[in-house]
């Protein structure tokens, strides 16, 4: 299925000079992961306060792109320079889930008409990541399959931030948007679990 995640190899190629620069300056994979978590908290705070200034909505497209870069770099650093560790894995997985909740939470403030759907969306996002982890537990590797993975959710939220920055609104269609996301998240979770069990 179509997913932004399939662009990851090309994205990693573009980040290789940055990776080498960070390694040269003694930056570790775990430090990059922590930086990603701190950035996510900052994005969440700016997004929550975007009613004070529309410029804060730009924290979504810009911040989420930076977060995707950091998420790619920590894995590249760990694999290329033999920095993999259990601590790194825990920081990466738990950090991503907590970060997603922090970043998505302000949606409840800006789209109150879809409050229940947003709560389901946040819960399913967490379940979807757990489904990916199941692949490592019962199968051979962590699963990233499906049309609504972490990168896809970041793209959608980035577009959402740009939409509100330019003064548009989705209140009239938010019900359909979040229902579509929920359906795609459910499909993603099913695919990940199915492939994990198949590998097992």
Fold of the domain built from segment(s) 4-199: 1.20.120
Q: What percent of the chain has pLDDT over 90?
A: 82
Is pTM beyond 0.85 here?
yes
Distances (CA, A) of 63 to 37, 131, 133, 150: 11, 26, 25, 14
Distances (CA, A) of 108 to 17, 142, 151, 197: 39, 30, 21, 35
Q: What percent of the chain has pLDDT over 70?
A: 98
| pLDDT (average), residues 119-137 | 93
Average pLDDT, the chain: 93
Closest by CA to 188, choosing from 122, 141, 125, 105, is 125
Mapping DSSP to helix (H, G, I), strand (E, B) and coil, where does residue 166 land? coil
Mapping DSSP to helix (H, G, I), strand (E, B) and coil, where does residue 44 land? helix
Which tokens hold the place of 78? 């760990």
| pLDDT (average), residues 2-9 | 73
Q: Which residue has the tokens 């920081």?
A: 91
Closest by CA to 150, choosing from 131, 125, 133, is 125
Closest by CA to 133, choosing from 187, 87, 94, is 94
Q: What is the tens place of the pLDDT at every residue in 12-23?
A: 899 999 999 999
Contacting residues for 175 by C-beta, under 8 A, at least 6 apart: 113, 114, 117
Contacting residues for 80 by C-beta, under 8 A, at least 6 apart: 19, 23
pLDDT at 78: 93
Cα of 19 vs its chain's centroid, Å: 20
Q: Which residue has the tokens 């379940």?
A: 127
């Amino acid at each position: 299925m179509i997913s932004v995640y399939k662009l990851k190899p090309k994205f990693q190629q573009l980040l290789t000079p940055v990776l080498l620069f960070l390694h040269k300056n003694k930056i570790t994979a775990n430090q990059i992961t922590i930086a990603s978590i701190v950035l996510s908290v900052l994005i969440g705070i700016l997004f929550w306060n975007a009613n004070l200034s529309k410029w804060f909505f730009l924290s979504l497209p810009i911040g989420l792109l930076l977060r995707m870069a950091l998420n790619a770099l920590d894995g590249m650093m760990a694999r290329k320079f033999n920095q993999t560790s259990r601590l790194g894995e825990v920081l990466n997985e738990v950090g991503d889930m907590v970060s997603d909740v922090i970043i998505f939470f302000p949606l409840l403030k800006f789209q109150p008409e879809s409050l229940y759907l947003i709560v389901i969306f946040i819960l399913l996002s967490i379940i979807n990541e757990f489904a990916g982890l199941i692949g490592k537990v019962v199968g051979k590797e962590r699963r990233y399959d499906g049309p609504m993975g972490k990168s896809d959710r970041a793209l959608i939220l980035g577009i959402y931030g740009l939409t509100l920055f330019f003064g548009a609104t989705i209140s009239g269609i938010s019900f359909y948007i979040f229902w579509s996301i929920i359906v795609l998240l459910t499909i993603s979770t099913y695919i990940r679990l199915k492939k994990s069990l198949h590998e097992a």
